[in-house]
Amino acid sequence: MKVMQILYSGLGGHGSVAFSLHNAAVAAASDWQESMMFVGIEPVLEIYERRCQEDAIPYRPVRSREGRPWRSWAAVYRGLCVERPDVLLLHSVKLFLPCWWYAWRHGAVLIGVEHQANALKSRSEWMVSRLLMRLAHGVVVLTREYREELNKAMGRAFRGNKVHVVPNGIDVECFAPRDHGTEEEEPVRALGMAARFTPGKCQKVLVEAVEKLRTFHPGMDWQLWLAGEGETLESVKALVEERGLEKTVVFSGHLEEQDLPDWYRSLDIYVHASKGETLSTSLLQAMATGLPVVASDVPGISNLLGGAEQYGLLVEDNTPEAFARTLALLAGDEDLRMELSWRARKHVVCNYSHKIMFQKYQQVISACRKSFT
């Protein structure tokens, strides 16, 4: 079975999901004959190219033009005709039309994966969601809450038999806690967030929060590590300079997958300020690494950290003051940190491993192929 994953060429969560699926497929010795197509206004990330070359994954780059995504559709269609996949896993759902045209003409199964948070969707993105619901063979969503939101928003257009809940998965053996050994516990001071710098993420809130923490705990040498790149990076750097926090806030830049586990293990607390998520891979990685988490109380995060058990602390107000208060509370309570760390790691291992994700994708593909034939 030839399976092609179609994803964004630059930074973002698509790559982590796609390569996690690949790793799990290899570990399971599956019958997948994989290929990937990277589409975007940015060139294909070097790490993506290197991974494809090292793992002998056929891949095809397609450049698009900002503001004119349809200009790439012909190249996408031609690439599909060359590779001739039996199954399309479409992470970049804005490319739905050329993928649907290929699937319709060549008898392939098309499965769209909804990564964008419903609360942050534009009108055009909602239009794509409706097209997926009507014309795709299957739609993968990452949480039950997301499925319910789609149902409520779409009404009669919602096709429940097409929608499958498959949470993102990570390599829980790679993202494992650090070994403290017999070393004494150091004062909590290293905070970190790994995310693309976009308007939907709130790194500025964390910069101001760590400034307030220095006031709350003047004797503590707090540091905030921000990993990632993106369109709002320069404005966050400007804020750091304006506040004189150059020695307090460290920009780690884009970290490749193999560098992330050690980066997480260098932290004491993981912080994540956001306006909305679907299911954050960064949060899963931090939780698997055994980090206590403080994050925004928004859809896509609250359902992951809350529930019957508490897996992290939620901040109701996305403000520097609220984050600073919550961080100070957690930093001063070692028992709470240890409890949240243990719970979070166990939760991710049991529910969000890449092997579990792969098994569920296999079930979705099998169900879609049966309904299609």
pLDDT tens for 318-364 read 999 999 999 999 998 999 999 999 999 999 999 999 999 999 999 99
In a domain, 180, yes or no: no
Residue 330's pLDDT is what? Answer: 93
What pTM value is reported for the model?
0.82
Geometric angle at alpha carbon 53, from 47 and 59, rounded to 5°: 90
Listed in order, strand segments (DSSP E) in the chain are 2-8, 33-40, 59-63, 87-90, 109-113, 138-141, 163-165, 190-194, 223-227, 249-253, 269-272, 293-296, 313-315
Same domain, 51 and 160: yes
Same domain, 30 and 162: yes
| pLDDT, tens only, 87-99 | 999 999 999 999 9
Same domain, 120 and 257: no
**Residue 15 and residue 9: Cα distance in Å, rounded?**
8
Better-scored residue on pLDDT, 366 or 12: 366
Same domain, 52 and 101: yes
Same domain, 117 and 239: no
In a domain, 177, yes or no: no
In a domain, 174, yes or no: no
Residue 47 — pLDDT band, cuts 50, 70, 90? confident
Better-scored residue on pLDDT, 60 or 254: 60
Count structural domains, the chain: 2
Pairing verdict, β 109-113 and 163-165: unpaired
Same domain, 89 and 147: yes
Torsion of CA 73, 77, 82, 86, to 10 degrees: 130
In a domain, 207, yes or no: yes
| pLDDT, tens only, 222-259 | 999 999 998 999 999 999 999 999 999 999 998 888 89
Same domain, 124 and 195: no
| Structural domain boundaries enclosing 256 | 190-351
**Residue 291 and residue 270: Cα distance in Å, rounded?**
6
The CATH number of residue 287's host domain is 3.40.50.2000
Residue 16 — pLDDT band, cuts 50, 70, 90? confident
Averaged pLDDT of the chain: 92
